[in-house]
Amino acid sequence: MSETMVAPGTSGAASGGLQQVDVAVVGAGFAGLYCLHRLRKAGFSAVVLESGGDVGGTWYWNRYPGARCDIQTIDYSYTFDPELETAWQWSEKYATQPEILRYLGFVADRYDLRRDIRFGTKVTQATWDETSGRWLLTTDNGASVSARDYIMATGCLSQPKPPEIDGVQDFKGEIYFTGRWPHNEVTFAGKRVAVIGTGSSGIQSIPVIAEQADYLTVFQRTPNFAMPAHNGPAPADRAALLNSDRAGYREQARASMAGVPYPQQMDVSWQLTDAERRARFEKAWATGDLVYILSQLWADQAVDAEGNALVADLLREKVRSIVKDPETAEALCPDDHPFGAKRPCLETNYYATFNRPNVTLVNLRKEPITAITATGIKTDKRNVDVDIIVFATGFDAMTGAIRAIHPITGRGGRSLSDVWADGPETYLGLTVAGFPNLFLITGPGSPSVLSNMAVSIEQHVDWVVDRLAALRSAGFTTIEPTETAQAGWQRHLADCSMVTLHRLANTWYTGANVPGKPRGVMPYTGGVGPYRGICNEVVDRGMLGFRLTGPRGAEQCNDGEIVRLQPDVRLVLNWLAEMNLPPIESMGAQGARDFVAQFNATRPAGRPVGEVLDGALPAGEDMLKYRLYRPATPGLHPIVVYFHGGGWVLGDEQSDDPFCRDMCRRTNMIFISVGYRHAPEHRFPTAAEDGYAAAKWIAEHALELGGQPGPILVAGWSAGGNIAAVTCQLARDRGGPEIGGQLLLNPVTDCSTEHPSYTENATGYFLTRSLMYWFKDMYCAPADRGDPRISPLRGNLKGLPPAFVVTSEFDPLRDEGIAYAEALAAHGVPVGQLKARGHFHSSFTMVDVIITGVSGREQMAEALRMFAKVPEAESTAPQVHAAAS
Ligand code: NAP
């Protein structure tokens, strides 16, 4: 039953009394309007408090000339009501601000929303009252509000940041902020105008102002990437796609990465020729769609600095081809951030505007503004007198509207500003520990500004209102995330931020645009679809991470972290689970080999190296194939003898091709991947003996192979890690070859399955316990399992080469790898360890798929360089993913 005591809009609300509602919502933009509609439909009483004079939120305030959306309007619309979708027709591909505002007004009227919105009303304070279990909101206009639940639909970009330039108050002319544009018309004709700032708002308004003003001077601190919008009618192909299956189209948007239905691009840049890349780029340039260019060129553009630089170069080429003055063109070319890491812009005549005789660009990197004077703007090189200054200087984004607008006091009198002093912390970007019944729509830690906001807003509102309804049915009155869940979410956010390049740019995404603001990637970078899946999973797992309480001591708390896997590992495992594959061990040896070959054919091609050479080497009576990967740099290189994974049954010298290429590039060393013989045709100890024979032969032929003479290094993954470890023991016992170091990646070191990781990670992480049983049965008889050539952990560990042992948290083999590292160390062997949090058995060999594996491979490369005594500078791979796993 509703708790409304005083209906909004009644004298109680207006006269300064107390308005009691179930839910108070702040903000009447896209989010607040939908929220009110959903709350009403769910039977809650609600009031929306809005400081503006009408609905619209960001579109109410940002009325500057040229303002438009930059997600195609057919995607930037509500989807909750199919009738609404057909009742409104957009006139353009990218609607103007007035049209979007009309749309939001149309929505407000259609669902009769205005009667529950208090316009011109600012919240001045919000306080959680422990005793009543309600929020009390005081306002600057009319009644305070008492509400069970408090929803902030305040937008991510609604708090303009101050100009931060001395002397603004001295200026005698007109001053405007794009984020607070007046409702009356601003006349530029006959005026000298300055625009400070070249983000989306500046880039949209500059061409329009230039057409009207007598003279326009643009003050640019950082050039931004921009591409033409090619505005006009909605593109026929997108409209046809939508109209052919509206529900399906919307569903795809919800499952996509950015909230716009584009497929996942699979081709990687190095698979494409220059001409092919250029053709794709030209198509994107002609398409005029940010989501398209950000996602559809090549798979590595958003996750890898090299792949990204290829796009950035082509974009800079465009700028130079449009802007006639070379110095101005150069100043307009971004060079301090990867494309997409800072919000790119859509433009209409922006670059061409700088060819106009009445426009000058002032490059603040070369001549910073020193002050604003009574007559204009002073840089350290000149005075520019103007009549109007337009500040397009942006927002205190994501947290500004939540933190700065009014004090929010939660449990125990703690203020949100204090709690977030070092940066925002949330659970799911929706809730905050210590602030019961407070919900943030598209808050920090959710996809929000990295997505089509319309899709993200609907998802958040639906989730919140559905939860409130479920709570009500279950008799609970408060909901609050636990500290454990919130800390886990922060860790997951940090993990996600390692996947994209956003962390490499100083932007409002990271708080870098506001002096003194704590730094960190604020939006969720893991994608809209995966995020939605996580929010749903929280519910499916009994409101994991939330404490629910109700009358008479009712309480439910299912504490825990919702995501413990690395984000890309989670995606891969979900994808594998969806494929519903039969267990590999049920396929038989040949079937399993065929499956692996098929599986490997779908992965991204390995990166180019200097040379790839196939050969064969003797092992007893047989010849073993090998594949040699040589770095592109001249000279003799240290040699790493590599043994592939596959449980002694599967794989070959090519099956870990991407890994070998990547490590060859990172280490600047020759990698020789050896095709040892497999079980069940060749059972124990063939693989171990083959490994040793290969290492010996390679060491003896190092010079012929183009490698440095002297100690070789050995490396291997999984069963290959077992062979590498065994090779070191055999080499020590049989008088050579000399081995300078061993890299053991998720190695089998013990034929026992007693280690707890065998139970903890028995299923669900691709390599299963049952598969390991099968591998071991294929390779060796139970009687052999104590032999150090299969269980090196049981061998003599003294005098072995230094080791770097990598284990993954979600791997059945985790504990035996750790045990081996510890045992080596106990026997005086220098050992480095990487215990990879959130990773699974294949994390490091799924190169260019598990992007969070990059930092682990960097550490492996560093270890190999140390073993070979090679200085770090000699590596050739990019070092952009520098964070530790
Ligand atoms: P913004 O992207 O933060 O751009 C602000 C600009 O002002 C930057 O060029 C910044 O330079 C400059 N600046 C800030 N303080 C300055 C100072 N003290 N001196 C000199 N220059 C200064 O802000 P915005 O253009 O308002 O856009 C913000 C976001 O709103 C966009 O990224 C977008 O997400 C959204 N938006 C969307 C649309 C649309 O959908 N069409 C339109 C407008 C805005 P630095 O880069 O050096 O800090």
Question: Which residue among 62, 157, 201 is best mutated to probe the pocket of ligand 1, counting the most ligand atoms within 8 A of its Cβ?
Answer: 201
How would you classify the pairing of strands 46-49 and 117-118? parallel
Average of per-residue pLDDT across 492-505: 95
Taking the C-alpha atoms of residue 95 and residue 232, their distance in angstroms, rounded to an integer, is 9
Cα–Cα nearest to 46, from 461, 543, 546, 549? 461
CA distance 81 to 111: 11
pLDDT given for residue 405 in this prediction: 67
Q: What is the DSSP letter of 183?
A: S
75 pLDDT higher than 90: yes
Residue of 162, 173, 219 lying closest to 195 (CA atoms): 219
Tell me how far apart the alpha carbons of residues 12 and 6 are, in angstroms, rounded to a whole number.
Answer: 6
What confidence tier does 404 reach under pLDDT thresholds 50, 70, 90? low
pLDDT of 79 reads 97
Instruction: Kindly give the distance from the C-alpha atom of residue 201 to the centroid of ligand 1, in angstroms, as a whole number.
Output: 6
Paired tokens of 20: 């009691």
Residue nearest to atom 48 of ligand 1 (CA): 513
Q: Write down the residue that tokens 């109410």 correspond to.
A: 60
pLDDT for res 872: 65
pLDDT band per the 50, 70, 90 thresholds, residue 753: confident
pLDDT band at 604 (very low <50, low <70, confident <90, very high): confident
Whether residue 6 has pLDDT greater than 90: no
Q: Ligand 1: list residues with CB < 6 Å.
A: 68-70, 157, 164-165, 178, 196-202, 204, 221-222, 343, 364, 392-395, 449, 508, 513
Q: Note whether 28 and 105 are within 8 A (CB).
A: no
Cα 42-52-391 angle, rounded to 5 deg? 130
pLDDT surpassing 70 at residue 1:
no
**Rounded to an integer, what distance in angstroms lies between the CA atom of residue 432 and that of residue 427?**
6
Instruction: For residue 885, name the pLDDT band (cuts at 50, 70, 90).
Output: very low
Q: Which atom of ligand 1 is nearest to the CA of 513?
A: 48
pLDDT at 7 over 70: no
Query: 216 has which bridge partners?
Result: 193, 359
**Token pair recorded at residue 469:** 């309804």
Helix, strand, or coil (residue 520)? coil
- If you measure from the C-alpha of residue 200 to the centroid of ligand 1, how many angstroms do you get, rounded to a whole number? 6
Q: Ligand 1 mean position to 197 CA, how many Å?
A: 6
Instruction: List all residues 6 or more positions away from 800 whose beta carbon is below 8 Å from its beta carbon.
Output: 728, 729, 732, 742, 824, 827, 829
Predicted confidence at residue 877, as pLDDT, reads: 46
Tokens of 241: 């796609």
In this model, does residue 884 exceed pLDDT 50? Answer: no
> How high is the pLDDT of residue 13?
53
Q: Is 533 helix (H, G, I), strand (E, B) or coil?
A: helix
Q: What is the rounded distance in angstroms from the CA atom of residue 294 to the CA atom of residue 273?
A: 19
Instruction: Say what the pLDDT of residue 874 is.
Output: 52
* Residue 16 CA neighbour count, 13 Å, CB half: 1
Q: Stretch 42-70: mean pLDDT, rounded?
A: 97
Q: Which two tokens stand for residue 411?
A: 């449990």
pLDDT band at 346 (very low <50, low <70, confident <90, very high): very high
**Atom number in ligand 1 closest to CA 164:** 18
User: pLDDT, tens digit, for every residue of 821-866?
Assistant: 999 999 999 999 999 999 999 999 999 999 999 999 999 999 999 9
Beta bridge pairs of residue 342? 339
Query: Are 487 and 559 spatial neighbours (Cβ–Cβ below 8 Å)?
Result: no
Q: What is the DSSP string of 806-827?
A: EEEEE-TTHHHHHHHHHHHHHT
673-678-683 Cα angle (round to 5): 135
Residues of the chain with pLDDT > 70: what percent? 96
pLDDT digits over 775-789, tens only?
999 999 999 999 999
- In the reported structure, the alpha carbon of residue 350 is separated from the centroid of ligand 1 by a whole-number distance in angstroms of 15
**What would the pLDDT profile of 219-238 be if each residue is shown by its tens digit?**
999 999 999 999 999 999 99
Q: What is the pLDDT of residues 104-149, one digit of tens each?
A: 999 999 999 999 999 999 999 999 999 999 999 999 999 999 999 9
- The residue whose two tokens read 């603001």 is 517
Rg value, the chain, Cα: 31
Beta strand extents in 583-705 (DSSP E only) = 611-619, 622-630, 639-643, 670-675
Q: Is the Cβ–Cβ distance between 393 and 196 less than 8 Å? A: yes
> Please, what sign has the CA dihedral across residues 389, 393, 398, 404?
negative
**CB contact at 8 A, 123 and 13:** no
CA-179 nearest atom, ligand 1? 26
For 212, counting Cβ atoms within 10 Å of its Cβ (0-12 exposed, 13-18 middle, 19+ buried), the class is middle
Q: What is the 3-state secondary structure (H, E, C) of 109-170?
A: HHCCCHHHEECCCCEEEEEEECCCCEEEEEECCCCEEEEEEEEECCCCCCCECCCCCCCHHH
The band of 12, judged by pLDDT with boundaries at 50, 70 and 90, is very low
CA-to-CA dists, residue 683 to 319, 460, 463, 617, 676, angstroms: 63, 56, 55, 20, 11
Residue 881 has pLDDT above 60, yes or no: no
The total number of residues written for the chain in this structure: 885
* Distance of CA 426 from the midpoint of ligand 1 (Å): 25
> For 418-475, how does the pLDDT look when each residue is reduced to its tens digit (9 = 90+)?
999 999 999 999 999 999 999 999 999 999 999 999 999 999 999 999 999 999 999 9
State how far the Cα of 848 lies from the Cα of 661, in Å rounded to an integer. Answer: 11
- Asked if the peptide bond before residue 334 counts as cis, ω within 30 degrees of 0, the response is no
Backbone angles phi and psi of 607, in degrees to 5: -75, 155
Q: Is there a contact between 312 and 339 (Cβ–Cβ < 8 Å)?
A: yes
Q: How far apart are CA 728 and CA 724, in angstroms?
A: 6
Q: What pLDDT was estimated at residue 735?
A: 96
| Ligand 1 centroid, distance to 199 Cα (angstroms) | 4
What dihedral angle (degrees, nearest 10) is formed by the CA atoms of 411, 415, 417, 419? -50
- Mutation to probe ligand 1, out of 30, 72, 180, 221 (largest number of atoms < 8 A from CB): 221
Please tell me the predicted confidence (pLDDT) of residue 10: 38
User: Percentage of the chain surpassing pLDDT 90?
Assistant: 93
Averaged pLDDT, 377-395: 97
Q: Is 879 a residue whose pLDDT tops 70?
A: no
| Cα 164 to middle of ligand 1, angstroms | 14
Tokens 């050479």 -> residue: 613
Q: Which is higher by pLDDT, 49 or 8?
A: 49
User: What value, to the nearest 5°, has the Cα angle with vertex 170 and ends 167 and 176?
Assistant: 85
What confidence tier does 96 reach under pLDDT thresholds 50, 70, 90? very high
Check residues 754 and 78 and name the one with the higher pLDDT: 78
Mean pLDDT score of the chain: 95
pTM (2 d.p.): 0.94
Determine the distance separating the centroid of ligand 1 and the alpha carbon of 392, expressed in angstroms: 6
Phi then psi dihedrals of residue 362, to 5 deg = -105, 120
For 787-821, the pLDDT digits (tens) are: 999 999 999 999 999 999 999 999 999 999 999 99
Task: Kindly state the tokens that stand for 686.
Answer: 């063939």
Residue 400: DSSP 8-state: I
**Cβ proximity of 92 and 73 under 8 Å:** yes
pLDDT of 403 reads 76
* Residue 200 alpha carbon, nearest atom of ligand 1: 25
**CB half-sphere exposure, 494, CA atoms < 13 A:** 16
Angle at 743 between CA 738 and CA 748, to 5 degrees: 110
CA dist 644 and 664 (Å) reads: 15
159/51 Cα distance (integer angstroms): 12
Instruction: Please tell me the predicted confidence (pLDDT) of residue 484.
Output: 98
